[in-house]
Structure 1
Amino acid sequence: MILFSAHAEAALARRRLRRAWIESAILEPDRTEPDAGAPEVTRSFKTIPDFGARVLRVVHRPDGHDILVITAFFDRGARP
């Protein structure tokens, strides 16, 4: 199950992000990388055609058998 932190919930509303985009980035990412400051945290990147082909970055970590989304945003520096 994919869970959302309070920060992630607020980011979804403020940044007009769809849950389906976030789930797709986690389950079928274009690429992933570990977070430099926290090895248990993963950054998943996914190009979102419905949003001008911008790249969505989803930061998440395992939470037991679940996945906790910490934050998500369109990464201005990322390339498809």
Structure 2
Amino acid sequence: MSEGDKPVVLTRHAQTVQRERGIDLTWIMRTVEAPEWQENDRQWKGARRLFRSIPEFGGRVLRVVVMEEAAERRILTAFFDRRAGKR
């Protein structure tokens, strides 16, 4: 199963912050499917930080933290990262 074939699942935390922060689910999916850049997450071992600027939100950079599992891509959190700059 390739990465693109894996279902994307939002944790309860990710669902809550997505709703509370007004992050459109399509922006999260766009970031997961086609990040502009990525890096290893320093907090969660094995997780990746995916970044993408969102034109519909003033070009701000969305960070989505993803844990790749054997059968799914699990979204741990998502937020607009004020400190993110293209690496």
Q: TM-score, normalised by structure 2?
A: 0.86
**Aligned equivalent of 1:65:** 71
What does residue range 21-40 of structure 1 map to in structure 2 within 5 Å? 21-40=27-46
**Equivalents in 2 of 1:7, 1:55: separation in Å?**
20
> Which sits farther off after the overlay, 56-65 or 40-49?
56-65
Q: Which moved more, 1:34-43 or 1:53-62?
A: 34-43
Match of 2:59 in 1: 53
**TM-superposition CA deviations, 1:19-68 (whole Å, max 9, x none):** 11111111100000001243410000000000000000000101222100
Segments of structure 1 that go 5 or more residues without pairing to the other structure are none
Q: For residue 78 of structure 1, what is the aligned residue in structure 2? A: 84
Distance 2:79 2:34 in 1: 17
Between structures 1 and 2, the one with greater strand share: 1
Q: Which amino acid aligns with 1:79?
A: G
Q: TM-score, normalised by structure 1?
A: 0.93
Shift of 1:78: 1.1
Aligned residues: 80
Identity of aligned residues (%): 34
Match of 1:16 in 2: 22
Let me know the Cα RMSD of the aligned residues.
1.1
